[in-house]
Amino acid sequence: MKKCYDVAVIGGGPAGATFARELSRKHPQMAIALIDGKPKTGGKVCGGLLAPDAQKVLAQFDLDLPKEILADPQIFDVKTMDLQSGIVRNYQRHYLNMDRAAFDRWLLSLLPAQVDVIVGRCTQITSGQDGFCIQTDGEPTKIYAKYLVGADGASSIVRRQFFRPCKKKYIAIQEHFADQIVGAPSYSCVYDPKTSDTCSWIIRKDGKLIFGGAFHIKDGRQAYEKQKARLEARLGHCFGESTKIEACLLTSPRSARDFVLGNDGVFLIGEAAGFISASSFEGISSAFLSGKYLADAFSEDPKRTLQKYKKSTRKLRMKLLLKIFKMRILCCPMLRYIIMKSGMCSIEKYEKSEE
């Protein structure tokens, strides 16, 4: 039987889940399909830190986070290390440390029955006069919809097929280790211009130590291994036995042209639209907001939808442009040196007594 929907959403991350939930609330008569194919390795490759901006949007949605989603430990600061200059500073942070796969499952669990969640990866999209035909490797294999929403993240098939890609992409690599290093900081941010022009991170999470970073796609794995060795030399210990290594693409917008909202009945939200912070790679808050804004703007007139969506995302796009500027400052070794050397905004750690 031919299955036809008003709207098909590709991708069930924070952007897709938020959009589908909000659209169904605003238009209870609409038939909505959400097609999501999780990567074979499990959940999304992510640091799993919920930033204050994302917490604020959850508050605006009147959503409380179930405690099962939180990971151990909760963190209050980031230890920032510059491997080139050797400077180390601590900065206060207000993130929630969470299990990202559990977070995504929870967001999907909030969807009403009106949204058909289809498990499978979209492999091909064809557009015709009446809308779009979406082929999947799941069941059903063909889905028809009047409007298409790409919420499929950094390697978005929707963006690739219909729009100009975001110019700058990294390969993000994360490795998991058994957390056996006594006294290791719970959250670190690492700059090493010899191996990457952006930052890496170490996060303790539920008995694991996760080390990850973003590297140039061409020689990403070698750069990652080199940085890991340089970091281990600097820390004076090895990370130990690796239990898992994962990788995915990561978008890094460089100009306003990298933000693409849609056209002709196809819309983009979340990282697929280029909505991610270039300085910290925080993307959950932008995924929430763009999902909400598109749902609010949605009407049977795609031109009007686009107009309204453009207007409502103006502030978000401005904020993300400022993050590009911030990234240029933080990723410039000389400017970073001056900022870190000055101790500006850093916190002092009290001495610990020897046990």
Ligand X SMILES: Cc1cc2nc3c(=O)[nH]c(=O)nc-3n(C[C@H](O)[C@H](O)[C@H](O)COP(=O)(O)OP(=O)(O)OC[C@H]3O[C@@H](n4cnc5c(N)ncnc54)[C@H](O)[C@@H]3O)c2cc1C
Chain contacts with ligand X (rule: CB under 6 A): 10-16, 35-39, 44-49, 51, 54, 121-122, 151-153, 157, 172, 174, 212, 248, 250, 270-272, 276, 281-284, 287
Q: Which long-range contacts (CB under 8 A, 24 or more apart) does 300-305 make?
A: 302/147, 302/264, 302/265, 305/267
Q: How far is the CB of 351 from ligand X (least distance, A)?
A: 30
Coil, strand or helix: which one is 258? helix
Q: How far is the CB of 355 from ligand X (least distance, A)?
A: 32
Tokens describing residue 52: 């204050």
Rounded Cα distance between 112 and 28, Å, is: 10
DSSP conformation class of 140: S
CA distance 97 to 229: 26
Question: How far is it, in rounded angstroms, from Cα 2 to Cα 131?
Answer: 14
Residue 329 DSSP one-character state = H
- Sequence-ordered alpha helix ranges (H) in 38-92: 52-60
**Half-sphere exposure at residue 340, Cβ-oriented, CA atoms within 13 angstroms:** 24
Looking at beta carbons only, is 286 or 305 nearer to ligand X? 286
Could you tell me the two tokens for 100? 């990202």
Q: Counting beta carbons within 10 angstroms of the beta carbon of residue 169, is it exposed (0 to 12), middle (13 to 18) or buried (19 or more)?
A: middle
CA atoms within 13 A on the CB side of 110: 25
Residue 100 CB, nearest distance to ligand X (Å)? 7
Supply the minimum distance, in Å, between the C-beta of residue 54 and ligand X. 6
122 vs 340 by CB, closer to ligand X: 122
Question: At a CB cut-off of 8 Å and minimum separation 6, what does 40 contact?
Answer: none
CB of 247 to ligand X, least distance (A): 8
Instruction: Report the nearest approach of ligand X to the CB of residue 272 (Å).
Output: 6
**Shortest Å, Cβ 174 to ligand X:** 5
* Nearest residue (CB) to ligand X, 38 versus 326: 38
Nearer to ligand X, 13 or 265 (CB): 13
User: For residue 140, is the peptide bond before it cis, meaning its omega torsion is within 30 degrees of 0?
Assistant: yes
Determine how β-strand 169-178 pairs with β-strand 187-191. Answer: unpaired
Q: Between 41 and 342, name the residue whose CB sits nearer to ligand X.
A: 41
Nearest residue relative to ligand X (C-beta): 283
CB of 29 to ligand X, least distance (A): 25
Cβ nearer to ligand X, comparing 243 with 342: 243
How large is the greatest C-alpha to C-alpha distance in the chain, in angstroms? 73
The nearer residue to ligand X, 217 or 344, going by C-beta atoms, is 217
Name the residue nearer to ligand X (CB basis): 43 or 193: 43
Q: How many CB atoms lie within 10 A of CB 182?
A: 6
